[in-house]
Amino acid sequence: MPKGFHYGRIQLRQYTTQFNKLFASELKSLLSLPLGSYRLVDNASSTPIELKEKGNGNRFISFKNSTLKIQLITCKRSVSTKLYLTCPYCQTRRQHLYRNRDSYACKTCLRLYYASQSEREQDRLARKIRKLRKGIWGSLDGINNLTESVQYFAKPKSKHWVKFEYEKAVLLELERKYWMLADVQINKLLSI
């Protein structure tokens, strides 16, 4: 089932996957380049930008056809220098900004949501079951097929029996909860 599927209702939320991202890590090279005009190129378009510097040494990029300015902030708390982008609207530090028409803003300012925030309980359980199955059995055939119970899967070679039995019991309990929810949905679909 696709993420963010709304079962016939009108979609009111906008999701982060619908917008292109501007990553701070991709702009790290701007810290060492000379000031001047450059282009931001992504898979959809090419945007002309101008790299400028304030009197205190902080660099920022401005767009040629807009008054928006995105400040480039460096943080030296760890061994490497980490770059942050400043949202032009709320002035908070972000790892990435989202492109909305001709401007960039953070997830909060654009009121965006992750698709997983719109999942039903059954969808969350299915995702958790698949994740745990992949952690135990890796890329075994049929691992994502929820109609096959884990009680029929063999123990992997590298697992200890005690840990395997514990993880299998956890998965069986999650599958039981999943099928209780699925049973209700199937009964509604079949009008039983």
Query: How many domains are there within the chain?
Result: 2
Domain presence at residue 30: yes
Tell me what percent of the residues of the chain surpass a pLDDT of 90.
27
Shared domain for 91 and 181, answered yes or no, is no
pLDDT of residue 1: 44
Exposure string of 146-178, with b = 16+ CB inside 10 Å and e = fewer, is beeebeebeeeeeeeeeebeebbeebeebbeeb
Residues 83, 146: Cα–Cα separation, whole Å: 42
pLDDT of residue 102: 76
Q: What is the pLDDT of residues 72-106, one digit of tens each?
A: 888 878 777 888 999 999 999 999 999 888 788 99
Q: What is the pLDDT of residues 112-138, one digit of tens each?
A: 988 878 778 888 899 999 999 999 998
Tell me: pLDDT of 191 over 50: yes
- Provide the pairing of β-strand 46-53 with 36-41: antiparallel
97 is in which domain, residue-wise?
Answer: 14-114
